[in-house]
């Protein structure tokens, strides 16, 4: 299937002995035993996901829901622009 390349942010974090790869741009994640394996599996999952929503005819609807926008030429999509990341403190109730 023909397409154009888009760069999206992918976050990596550890969960037990696994490495999780997650992208808010597609609300998609994968995991592996190493960062490289998680990266490869994420790329495969993203390709499958994008191919499936294209075949279903819902590509535009899904990408717009995730904050993507189409270029003026209508052949290219751009992911949401993230201004940065930070760690914010939250209070987690104890008990209950």
Question: Is the model's pLDDT at 42 over the cut of 90?
Answer: yes
Question: What whole-number percentage of the chain has pLDDT above 70?
Answer: 97
Q: Express each pLDDT in 12-35 by its tens digit.
A: 999 999 999 999 999 999 999 999
Residue 18, burial from CB neighbour count under 10 angstroms (0-12, 13-18, 19+)? middle
pTM of the model: 0.84
The domain segmentation of the chain, as residue ranges, is: 11-77
Which of these, 73, 53, 75, lies nearest to 63 by C-alpha position?
53
Distance CA 94, CA 62 (A): 38
Q: How many residues does the chain have?
A: 96
């Amino acid at each position: 299937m023909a397409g154009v390349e888009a760069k999206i942010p992918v976050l990596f974090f550890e969960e037990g002995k696994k490495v999780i790869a997650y992208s808010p741009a597609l609300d998609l994640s994968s995991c592996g035993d190493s960062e490289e394996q998680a990266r490869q599996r994420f790329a495969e999952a993203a390709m499958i996901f994008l191919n499936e929503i294209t075949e279903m005819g819902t590509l535009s609807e899904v990408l717009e829901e995730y904050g993507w926008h189409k270029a003026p030429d209508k052949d290219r999509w751009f992911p949401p622009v993230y201004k940065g990341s930070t760690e914010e403190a939250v209070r987690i109730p104890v008990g209950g």
